[in-house]
Amino acid sequence: MSRRDPSQEEIALERLPKAPLNRESLRETLMFARYVQPYRARFLAGLVTLFFSATFGLAFPLLAGALIDAAMKPGGAHLPLLGALSLAQVAAVLAGSVTLQALCSFNSSLAFNRVGQSALADLRHECYQRLITLPMAFFGQRRVGELTSRVSTDIAQIEGALIDALPSICRQTVFLIGGITLIAITSGRLTLVILCTLPFLIAAAVFFGRRLRRYSRETQDQLAATNTIVEETLQAIASVKAFANEAFELKRYEAANARVLAAALGAARWRAVFVAFFILALFGGIVIVLWFGAGLLQRGEISAGELTRFVLYTTFVAGAMGQAAELFSQIQKTVGATQRVRELLREPAEATGAVAGTGLPARLRGEVSFEAVNFRYPARPEMAVLRELSLAAQPGERIALVGPSGAGKSTITALLLRFYEPESGRLLIDGRDARDYPLGWLRGQMAIVPQDVLLFGGSIAENIVYGRPGADDAAIREAARLANADDFIRGFPEGYATLVGDRGVKLSGGQRQRIAIARAILKNPAILILDEATSSLDSESEQLVQGALDRLMQGRTTFIIAHRLATVRNADKIAVIEAGRVVELGTHDELSARPDGLYRRLSSLQFGPGNPLG
């Protein structure tokens, strides 16, 4: 056993749950054969060469025994098919057999790896394709980090099964059956001795192995817990330091680390017992066989070559049996892994494709109407988020959504983008039910500057061009100029090629926001959604960006969500949302005039009670 810490992946693989083996689960697993299907010729070649390599391996003890017999018997060794051979001749055959075995092993290993890796590449592709097209509701109910690591661990397990376990099972089966047969041919009585002792050895090995695995799993679980602490604290290192919580985290780590040590020490005794037992059993077994065999040799019942052959076959058979338990547990894990991957592949995806709908206009006019929409998030079905919400926007209109945090403003835009479907009520776009439009096409007509802008880890230019893949540099620059981002981008030494870091961490919040605005400008949508689009900008930049946004909003229906009411004063309509309902609707002047309205209250908080109109 190596003393180095296992990697996260090894820990994950070790902790993979096993699935029961029954007809149903095995059939499901065998359906994965379709990933091997395209490479079946090569797979078959791998199997055949594997069989030959195992057969040559099986011939080794036979030839090694013959070598000794050839040296000791006056007439040379007698080999099946080849007849009587001299020492040099047997040595030549042995050398040839070993060489052929190596060549066959090379071939089968290469074939299995190639087939396995190609099939896995296909499987990974299919998994990602499925993941990325799953509806938002799916992601709300699962932790994404857990999901990705689960898929990668499951696929690694399937990889191990295809590339290691499957060839191993074939090889060991040949060794086991061939070995026992050849032992039996050599000496029936010796075979009986072996068949009587081996099961005890195997039972003991399985018993100790289980014990040991339980302890090492415990160690690895604890180790994974400590690794989680390291990961979490390093990800949020700024918070740890800002709260001066280093000592607290260190204590937390120490406690977890002590549990790792305790579990590892618990495993140590069993490991030592196991090692001692294994040595005793292996060498003891050989001693018994040798002793018994030497007796036969003494009485002249077998030759020295036969005894050699015999001892070697015994180790083959014992090795095969010893591996059986491990291989069986591999199969169980693989069945479990394939089940989970199949579950993922069975999840219904969103139909984002199919752009060729009939009678689709080139562009939406941008009329939007929510009619008595009720909605709750699938992840939290007990909480109604939108209740009987009705809201209409004419083409080109600017509608502001204001209201307390958690009122449901972002949720309205999520329904507009059809991330979720209303529970009841309707969403009409240009007078047609939103569900009548192909999803990809509909989303292509909208752009959003989201509340929390996360950029992709590439360059600034790549992030802007995401709005309209294939747009040229001039268009990118123009969009950035309109978003008031061109200046700061060109201020960077590398300009538009500047890498933004993971999720855009190398940019300030306001810079990220302006890049998101540039992206939306480039997309040129019929419906625009600005969710707190200027919240991270200073007053001066906000004014500049506001100018850009005013231009951007020309001729498009725009939903503007803002907490700073000064930003929405010029909207055509302001809808005040509270607890999932529209509680007030009107222009800034109308709403400010209502004596005890929520809008008036909110604006007097922001602009001062004496000056509700700002």
Ligand X SMILES: Nc1ncnc2c1ncn2[C@@H]1O[C@H](COP(=O)(O)OP(=O)(O)OP(=O)(O)O)[C@@H](O)[C@H]1O
For Mg ion, the binding residues (CB under 5 A) are 410, 451
For 356, the enclosing helix (H) or strand (E) is: none
CB of 455 to ligand X, least distance (A): 20
Of 227 and 451, CB closest to ligand X: 451
CB of 133 to ligand X, least distance (A): 18
Name residues contacting ligand X, limited to 376-395 (CB under 6 A).
377, 379-380, 385
Backbone angles phi, psi at 608, to 5 degrees: 95, 140
Handedness of CA 406, 409, 412, 418 (dihedral sign): negative
Of 338 and 410, CB closest to Mg ion: 410
Residue range at the interface with ligand X (CB under 6 A); choices 168-176, 238-246, 400-408, 550-558: 400-408
Of 316 and 420, CB closest to Mg ion: 420
379 binds, among Mg ion, ligand X, none (CB under 5 to 8 A by kind): ligand X
The single-letter DSSP state of residue 149 is H
Question: β-strands 557-561, 77-79: how paired?
Answer: unpaired
- Does 407 sit near ligand X (CB under 6 A)? yes
Of 349 and 583, CB closest to Mg ion: 583
499 sits in the region (left: phi over 0; alpha: psi -120 to 50; else beta) called beta
Name residues contacting ligand X, limited to 431-450 (CB under 6 A).
none
- Does 410 sit near ligand X (CB under 6 A)? yes
245 binds, among Mg ion, ligand X, none (CB under 5 to 8 A by kind): none
79 binds, among ligand X, Mg ion, none (CB under 5 to 8 A by kind): none
- Starting at the earlier edge strand, list the strands of the sheet with 424-429: 386-393, 368-375, 424-429, 432-433
611 binds, among ligand X, Mg ion, none (CB under 5 to 8 A by kind): none
Of 451 and 546, CB closest to ligand X: 451
**From residue 577, how far is each of 147, 385, 400, 402 by CA, in Å?**
35, 11, 10, 6
CB of 410 to Mg ion, least distance (A): 3
Distant-in-sequence, close-in-space partners of 455: CB < 8 Å, separation ≥ 6: 463, 500, 503, 504, 507, 512, 515, 516
Of 405 and 611, CB closest to ligand X: 405
CB of 408 to ligand X, least distance (A): 4
Among 172, 219, 411, 557, binds ligand X (CB under 6 A): 411
- Distance, in Å, from the CA atom of 403 to the CA atom of 560, rounded to the nearest integer, reads 12
Distant-in-sequence, close-in-space partners of 471: CB < 8 Å, separation ≥ 6: 465, 479, 522
- Does 140 sit near ligand X (CB under 6 A)? yes
Tokens of 89: 């001749």
CB of 405 to ligand X, least distance (A): 3
Among 284, 357, 406, 614, binds ligand X (CB under 6 A): 406
Residue range at the interface with ligand X (CB under 6 A); choices 80-88, 409-417, 425-433, 514-522: 409-417
Tokens of 38: 């395209």
Q: Which amino acid is at 62?
A: L
For 21, the enclosing helix (H) or strand (E) is: none
Of 60 and 377, CB closest to ligand X: 377
**From residue 580, how far is each of 444, 574, 576, 577, 604 by CA, in Å?**
27, 15, 10, 6, 23
**From residue 349, how far is each of 288, 343, 361 by CA, in Å?**
63, 12, 26
Largest CA distance in the chain: 122
| 606 three-state secondary structure | helix
Among 2, 405, 539, 554, binds ligand X (CB under 6 A): 405
Question: Among all chains, which residue has been given the structure tokens 């199969």?
Answer: 331
Backbone angles phi, psi at 370, to 5 degrees: -90, 130
Residue pair 199/301 in contact by the 8 Å Cβ criterion: no
Of 16 and 577, CB closest to ligand X: 577
405 binds, among ligand X, Mg ion, none (CB under 5 to 8 A by kind): ligand X
Q: How many residues in the shown chain lie near ligand X by CB under 6 A?
A: 13
Among 55, 133, 227, 451, binds ligand X (CB under 6 A): 451
Of 354 and 379, CB closest to ligand X: 379
Enumerate binding residues for ligand X (CB under 6 A). Answer: 140, 377, 379-380, 385, 405-411, 451
